């Protein structure tokens, strides 16, 4: 019989210090043990393979140890520790609720609670996959879980906390286990390689950790399989071959082709990927992840989010410096659109190739609004342009006339190879490439800069006047031309004469952004108030409701004979009217 033991069992942690990626749980439990403030019931919940059951066993062993270390660890040499190691202890009882989930099983367990431990201070009951208990079993367990004997301690473990009834949750101290970071998984795999004498490349271990998706047990299972396949020599190539992972070199080459607008090379790479047996969806998801990694490398603060080997990080950083930010934003949006539309696509290959063609020209496209129905035009049919606010760029956001539903382009300033120049010159007609989900206007190339104006009263009035002249709506133009402007530090105070004018000006969101971009001050604000001095001349001449007496006096002033007529016929005025 073979004596082989899988790594997940052979290297299962037996001490708190052996736990991987759950430092917050370990610290809390050790402090509770040192301070003798243990709860009578614990609930360990989290994803599979992150150490819930292992932590329960370590806790049970530690609290029963007769000679604990100052750090709160089990000594490993006392009688209870040896009995635990040899699986001969009667103080720790485990129940798999996935198999034993009836009322009778819970009643048998509660019967054992009545008996005190033979050795040690506690009798520990570990119930794994506790969410599998039937409702009747939960109810039978409630009273025992709420008021157990002082020597009884319950540890419940589950991957689906939401399936546990609230009355059980309220009786437990809950610990949420988290997925194990890739870096810590890689470190643990390196430790095992050292212990077992296995040769492994760093990139291969990163691939294994990423495929494990935060589960250390899954990562160790993959590791064992690859060690058998490679006979103890793990390389990046044989790892991706066995795991059916697409080589990241394809993604680097794909982006390099986009940078020189060589869509034919991108098509050839995609064909090679399909011939290797990879699904188009797998390629699209991988390319999206690659573009996301490049975007992460654009800012120093986000570089720690990159989970890759040091060698791969340097390659990402190098390509990120070459790829313009506008290209990455557009390409990511195209990938997202392609992924969403995949279920409806009949021809998957053509669907992906169209996306590749869009990304091929994404870094030099000037994108305009394609569908007038998606925007609310003003009375004269104008629509507003929206842009990505890219660092270090000043981009025009002034109103423009409604554009035809095509995507216009302008000559790229990216150097092209000699064999690509003629093809670029032949692109005289607009590209009929729809990018409906990208609604932003990109007008300037990466190397084009515009000098910001100084924030002064005169420049604000000049920009205001320019914006008002470009507006085609007569009502909006009338409001803009009759506004009193006053600059107070970084606030433009706008005085209007009517509430209607104030409402119209508040809805013109592009105006303040138009001024912000040209003075280079994103924090610039605009305050709108009603100025009585700007009210229309006839606004204060409100119609007054006159009494009958006042009406009669006005009539007498107009025709004195009315007074004579009233006295002659003894007429009186109705004061109630």
Residues 532 and 552 in one domain: no
The dihedral through the CA atoms of 545, 548, 550, 555 has a sign that is: positive
The one-character DSSP state at 346 is S
Q: 545-549: list long-range contacts, CB under 8 Å, 24+ apart.
A: 547/575, 547/577, 548/573, 548/574, 548/575, 548/577, 549/573, 549/575
Q: What is the pLDDT of residues 3-38, one digit of tens each?
A: 778 888 888 888 888 888 888 888 888 888 888 888
- DSSP letter string over 546-577? PPHHHHHHHHHHH-THHHHHHHHTT----TT-
User: Quick check: is 190 in a domain?
Assistant: yes
pLDDT of residue 438: 38
Domain boundary among 410, 428, 450: 450
What is the tally of structural domains in the chain? 5
Question: Lowest-pLDDT range, 215-224, 350-359, 484-493, 543-552?
Answer: 543-552
310 CB-contact burial (10 Å; exposed 0-12 / middle 13-18 / buried 19+): exposed
User: Quick check: is 193 in a domain?
Assistant: yes
Which ranges constitute the DSSP H helices of 343-426?
Answer: 348-360, 418-425
Closest listed residue to residue 160, CA positions, set 54, 55, 53, 47: 47
Domain boundary among 117, 141, 176: 176
User: Quick check: is 418 in a domain?
Assistant: yes
Give the CB-side neighbour count of residue 551, counting CA atoms within 13 A.
9
User: Quick check: is 122 in a domain?
Assistant: yes
pLDDT of residue 105: 87
Residues 473 and 383 in one domain: no
Closest listed residue to residue 322, CA positions, set 303, 297, 292, 356: 297
Residues 374 and 502 in one domain: no
pLDDT of residue 372: 38
Residues 553 and 532 in one domain: no
The one-character DSSP state at 449 is -
pLDDT above 50: residue 405: no
Question: Lowest-pLDDT range, 295-309, 392-406, 487-501, 550-564?
Answer: 392-406
Question: Lowest-pLDDT range, 187-196, 291-300, 539-548?
Answer: 539-548
Burial 403-418 (b: 16+ CB within 10 A, else e): eeeebebeebeeebee
| CA 232 – CA 200 distance, rounded (Å) | 8
Q: What is the pLDDT of residues 300-334, one digit of tens each?
A: 787 878 777 777 888 888 888 888 888 888 889 99
Residue that has been written with the tokens 């052979």 in this structure: 10
Q: What is the pLDDT of residues 343-388, one digit of tens each?
A: 888 888 899 999 998 888 886 653 333 333 444 444 444 444 444 4
pLDDT of residue 437: 39
Per-residue pLDDT band for 398 (boundaries 50, 70, 90) equals: very low
- What residues make up the domain containing 570? 543-577
pLDDT above 70: residue 62: yes
The CATH number of the domain holding residue 359 is 1.20.272.10
- Going through 326-428 in order, the beta strands assigned E by DSSP cover 382-383, 400-401
Q: What percent of the chain has pLDDT over 70?
A: 82
User: Quick check: is 1 in a domain?
Assistant: no
Residues 75 and 204 in one domain: no
226 CB-contact burial (10 Å; exposed 0-12 / middle 13-18 / buried 19+): buried
pLDDT of residue 78: 85
Residues 419 and 527 in one domain: no
Residues 316 and 200 in one domain: no
| CA 263 – CA 257 distance, rounded (Å) | 7
492 φ, ψ (degrees, to nearest 5):
-95, 115
Residues 382 and 498 in one domain: no
pLDDT of residue 370: 37
Residues 352 and 222 in one domain: no
pLDDT of residue 545: 64
User: Quick check: is 227 in a domain?
Assistant: yes
The CATH number of the domain holding residue 216 is 1.10.8.60
pLDDT of residue 42: 92
Mean pLDDT for the stretch of residues 384-406: 41
Contact 153, 61 (CB under 8 A): no
Strand 233-234, strand 173-176: pairing:
unpaired
Per-residue pLDDT band for 40 (boundaries 50, 70, 90) equals: confident
pLDDT above 70: residue 548: yes
The one-character DSSP state at 299 is S
pLDDT above 60: residue 439: no
Per-residue pLDDT band for 2 (boundaries 50, 70, 90) equals: low
Residues 283 and 396 in one domain: yes
Average pLDDT along the chain: 78
Residues 464 and 422 in one domain: no
pLDDT above 60: residue 436: no
Domain boundary among 450, 483, 503: 450
The CATH number of the domain holding residue 88 is 3.40.50.300
User: Quick check: is 22 in a domain?
Assistant: yes
pLDDT above 80: residue 410: no
Mean pLDDT for the stretch of residues 452-472: 87
Per-residue pLDDT band for 43 (boundaries 50, 70, 90) equals: very high
Q: What is the pLDDT of residues 259-277, one digit of tens each?
A: 888 888 889 989 988 888 8
485 CB-contact burial (10 Å; exposed 0-12 / middle 13-18 / buried 19+): middle
Residues 129 and 196 in one domain: no
Contact 151, 123 (CB under 8 A): yes
Mean pLDDT for the stretch of residues 464-486: 86
């Amino acid at each position: 019989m073979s004596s082989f033991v899988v790594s997940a069992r052979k290297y299962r942690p037996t001490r708190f210090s052996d736990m991987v990626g759950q430092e917050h749980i370990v610290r809390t439990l050790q402090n509770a043990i040192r301070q003798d403030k243990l709860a009578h019931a614990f609930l360990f919940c989290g994803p599979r393979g992150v150490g819930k059951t292992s932590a329960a066993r370590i806790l049970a062993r530690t609290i029963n140890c007769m000679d604990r270390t100052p750090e709160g660890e089990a000594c490993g040499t006392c009688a209870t520790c040896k009995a635990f190691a040899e699986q001969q202890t009667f103080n720790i009882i485990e129940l798999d609720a996935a198999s034993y989930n009836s009322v009778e099983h819970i009643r048998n367990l509660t019967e054992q609670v009545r008996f005190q431990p033979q050795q040690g201070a506690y009798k520990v009951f570990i119930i794994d996959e506790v969410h599998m208990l039937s409702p009747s079993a939960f109810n039978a367990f409630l009273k025992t879980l709420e008021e157990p004997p002082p020597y009884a301690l319950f540890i419940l473990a589950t991957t689906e906390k939401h399936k546990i009834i609230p009355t059980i949750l309220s009786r437990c101290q809950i610990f949420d286990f988290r997925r194990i970071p890739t870096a810590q998984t890689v470190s643990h795999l390196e430790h095992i390689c050292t212990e077992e004498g296995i040769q492994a490349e760093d990139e291969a271990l990163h691939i294994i950790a990423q495929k494990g998706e935060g589960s250390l047990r899954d990562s160790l299972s993959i590791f064992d399989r690859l060690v058998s396949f490679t006979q103890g020599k793990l390389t990046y190539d044989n790892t991706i071959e066995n795991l059916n992972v697409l080589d990241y070199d394809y993604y680097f080459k794909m982006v390099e082709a986009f940078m020189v607008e060589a869509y034919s090379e991108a098509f050839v790479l995609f064909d090679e990927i399909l011939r290797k047996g990879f699904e188009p969806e797998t390629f699209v998801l991988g390319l999206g992840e690659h573009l996301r990694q490049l975007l992460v490398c654009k800012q120093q603060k986000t570089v720690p989010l990159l989970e890759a080997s040091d060698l791969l990080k340097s390659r990402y950083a190098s390509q990120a410096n070459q790829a313009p930010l506008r290209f990455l934003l557009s390409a990511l949006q195209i990938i997202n659109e392609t992924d969403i539309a995949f279920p409806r696509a009949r021809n998957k290959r053509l669907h992906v190739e169209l996306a590749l063609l869009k990304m091929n020209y994404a870094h030099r496209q000037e994108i305009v609004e394609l569908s007038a129905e998606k925007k609310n035009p003003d009375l004269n049919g104008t629509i507003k342009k929206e842009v990505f606010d890219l660092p270090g760029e000043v981009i025009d956001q002034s109103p423009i006339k409604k554009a035809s539903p095509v995507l216009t382009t302008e000559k790229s300033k990216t150097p092209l190879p000699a064999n690509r120049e003629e093809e670029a010159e032949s692109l005289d007609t607009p590209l009929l490439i729809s990018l409906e989900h990208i609604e932003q206007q990109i007008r300037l190339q990466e190397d084009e800069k515009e000098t910001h104006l100084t924030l002064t009263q005169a420049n604000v009035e000049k920009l205001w006047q320019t914006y008002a002249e470009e507006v085609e709506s007569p009502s909006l133009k009338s409001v803009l031309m009759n506004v009193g402007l006053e600059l107070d530090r970084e606030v433009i105070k706008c005085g209007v004469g009517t509430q209607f004018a104030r409402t119209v000006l508040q809805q013109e969101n592009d105006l303040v952004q138009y001024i912000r971009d040209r003075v280079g001050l994103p924090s610039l604000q605009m305050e709108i108030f009603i100025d009585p001095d700007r009210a229309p001349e006839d606004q204060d001449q409100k119609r007054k409701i006159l009494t009958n007496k006042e009406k009669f006096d006005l009539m007498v002033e107009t025709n004195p004979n009315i007074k004579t007529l009233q006295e002659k016929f003894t007429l009186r005025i109705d004061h109630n009217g």
